[in-house]
Amino acid sequence: MSDIIQLLPDHVANQIAAGEVVQRPASVVKELLENAIDAEASSIKLLIKDAGKTLVQVIDNGSGMSVTDARLSFERHATSKIRSAEDLFQLNTKGFRGEALASIAAIAHVELKSKTEEDEVGTQLIIEGSEVVSQEVVVTPKGTSIAVKNLFFNIPARRNFLKSNQVETRHIIDEFHRVALAHPNIQFVMYHNGSEVFNLPESNYRQRIVNIFGSKTNEKLVPVNEETEVVKISGFVGKPEYAKKSRGEQFFFVNNRFIKSAYLNHAISSAFEGLLKESTHASYFLNLNVNPETIDINIHPTKTEIKFDDEHTLYAILRASVKHSLGQFNIAPVLDFERDSNLDTPYDYKDIQNPSTPNIEVDRSFNPFQERQTSGNRATAFKKQTPSNWDSLYVGLESKGTKSQQDFTSVQFESEEQTGSIFNQQTPVETKQSTFQIQNKYVVSTIKSGMLVIDQYRAHQRVLYEDFLKNMTIKESMSQQLLFPIQLHFSSQEIDILKQVKEDLEYTGFLFSDISKDSIEISGVPVHVPESEVSVILEQLINDIENEVPDSNFSPTDLLAKSMAKSLAVKTGQSLSVPEQEHLVNSLFGCKEPNMSPTNKSTFITLSVDELDKKFI
């Protein structure tokens, strides 16, 4: 038998590695930004075109690379970060595997320009599908510029798995946020299709958060600081009243590296227990500094999951720190039955002077019942004056009670005017109830062959979805004007999303009087939409558009209709009156597709009499 095991060619091995390293354009952005940070850059620019499918370019002013380093950087497992296996457990850098550039070069056209401070000229390297096309001397400023063009040009199957430009851009912005938040001491600038998206100057941590998520974020933040032998915690958590439906503003950084940890997230949730509304999530931006030897960051290809030596201790410290901060800044209620907050001394006057006891003078000889009382040289009259014409008050009143009682017995009451009726109503007609509600979740209606059990939430979603879709298609809608416009604050990228769907929103009944860089003003809302639900609807809409939920939409209009129907439909647990139940049933069967909800789930089931009979056998 001949030998069947053989070594893979380098270009095939690189493409296999690329499957782990590069899932989408955002993966390239992450790797290139982290390399720029490891090069000790103080200013980093990110340029993308067509959501990174056409171009991802990172320009930094870091240490740069020599001619040899530039060529070696694209070899597999070539890195400047580690020398031995022990270094893997003392990592203070981002990239250390030596696979990133080799994997990216295997599936894209890469152009590298780099120069160190000592060299007079730099080097330019052009690679296409792992093959070096050219290497030349070039004039370039200190630092490195890497342009990744035509991602997945030689693997069209992988390119087909990419989502829409909107979704891929969202992932790129997420990665940009994670890197920029971890390093507020570095200037970051991001351009998309030639227009500036972010310009983040060098700043402190709080200013970096505000620069990314909008000026309104500043008043939402509560500082968290704790230092122990195990971990040093710093950062901010959001106030409970600003909690969001989505988990978009939740960031953990361990030694300046973004991580995802459901276990630590649970510690934050338990610290906010009792303070958050149902199905909302608190925001947090927390940095954890631990000994590099106590963590293992090499357990996941994207390095977003790490393993801690002692997770239980870290959980307890994190939960206690957040809870302490919420109590310290009067976010969480304090139970103290002896303390009266009205007697607290304001901080401004606490150290100025001690309060003095006021002197009170009391005249102990004072008697208010004396007709006249003399106090010193003053004479004061306290005698009550009786009016001289008091008897005129009783003129006209009978002294006997019998007459007045007779007057009351002869009182006549006005009767309502009798009007004729076109119908002969001898006896009231009893209306037969045809629907019933079970557990405030299902509506039961009778049919000829048995009965219908309708899921009220899914059914109402279908009704609203078709209404919104019709209004946006024929471009007609009913809107109710607000006496006082509503002003809502969002981040810059959320404002961009709302601008994209503004026209479709107006066809559903929303009216926008003003849209600025970080806020919008709404002067009209769709009929039957309460003002309190407007912010919830728009937040849910932004979250759905960002994540394109579900993916099987036909158009942005379809997604908008689904998102609004989901937000406004009657929820499970809401009690419906009999007329409301009947209206829901009639509206559902007036729809084009009453069987399925907008998310392709059954809206009702039928139970025939035969099926019910079998239950009693």
**Residues 55-97 pLDDT 10s:** 999 999 988 888 888 888 888 767 666 656 655 556 666 655 5
Kindly state the DSSP code that residue 281 receives in the 8-state scheme: B
Residue ranges of E strands in 323-441: 372-375, 378-381, 435-438
Average pLDDT of 11-21? Answer: 71
pLDDT at 397: 62
- Cα(243)–Cα(349) distance, rounded to whole angstroms? 35
Strands (E), 338-441: 372-375, 378-381, 435-438
3-class DSSP string for 460-518: HHHHHHHHHHHHHHHCCCCEEEEEEEEEEECCHHHHHHHHHCHHHHHHHCCEEEEECCC
CB atoms within 10 A of CB 61: 18
Q: What predicted TM-score, i.e. pTM, was given to this entire model?
A: 0.69
pLDDT of 552 over the 50 cut: no
Q: Which value, to the nearest 10 degrees, does the dihedral of the CA atoms of residues 303, 309, 312, 317 take?
A: -80
Average pLDDT on 265-270 reads 90
Mean pLDDT of the chain: 80
**What average pLDDT does this structure show over 413-424?**
54
Q: What's the CA gap between 69 and 117, in Å, rounded?
A: 14
* Lowest mean pLDDT across 302-306, 387-391, 569-573: 387-391
Q: In terms of pLDDT, which residue wins out, 584 or 425? A: 584
For residue 404, pLDDT beyond 70: no
Extended beta strands in 290-333, E state = 295-296, 307-308
Token couple for 340: 């009266």
271: its two tokens: 């610290």
Rounded percentage of the chain residues whose pLDDT exceeds 70: 78
pLDDT digits (tens, 9 = 90+) for 372-391: 545 455 545 555 566 666 66
* Better-scored residue on pLDDT, 331 or 130: 130
Token pair listed for 506 = 């107006």
* Strand bridging mode 143-149 / 55-60: antiparallel
Does 148 have pLDDT greater than 90?
yes
51: left (phi over 0), alpha (psi -120 to 50) or beta: left
Q: Where do the domains of the chain lie, and which CATH numbers do they carry? A: 10-200 (3.30.565.10), 205-328 (3.30.230.10), 437-606 (3.30.1370.100)
Whether residue 44 is predicted with pLDDT greater than 90 in this model: the reply is: yes
d(CA 103, CA 17): 6
Please determine, for residue 369, whether its predicted confidence score (pLDDT) is greater than 60. yes
Predicted confidence (pLDDT) per residue in 345-355, tens digit: 565 555 556 66
Tell me 339's DSSP state.
Answer: -
At residue 252, the 3 state secondary structure works out as strand
Residue 156 clears pLDDT 90, i.e. is over it: no
Other Cβ atoms closer than 10 A to 419: 5
Give Cα 235 distance to the centre of its chain: 18
Find residue 481's DSSP bridge partners. Answer: 524
Residue range 206-233, pLDDT digits in tens: 999 998 888 888 888 889 999 888 889 9
Residue by residue, DSSP assigns 507-560 as HHT-EEEEE-SSEEEEEEEETT--GGGHHHHHHHHHHHHHHTSSS--SSHHHHH
509 — pLDDT class (breaks 50, 70, 90): confident
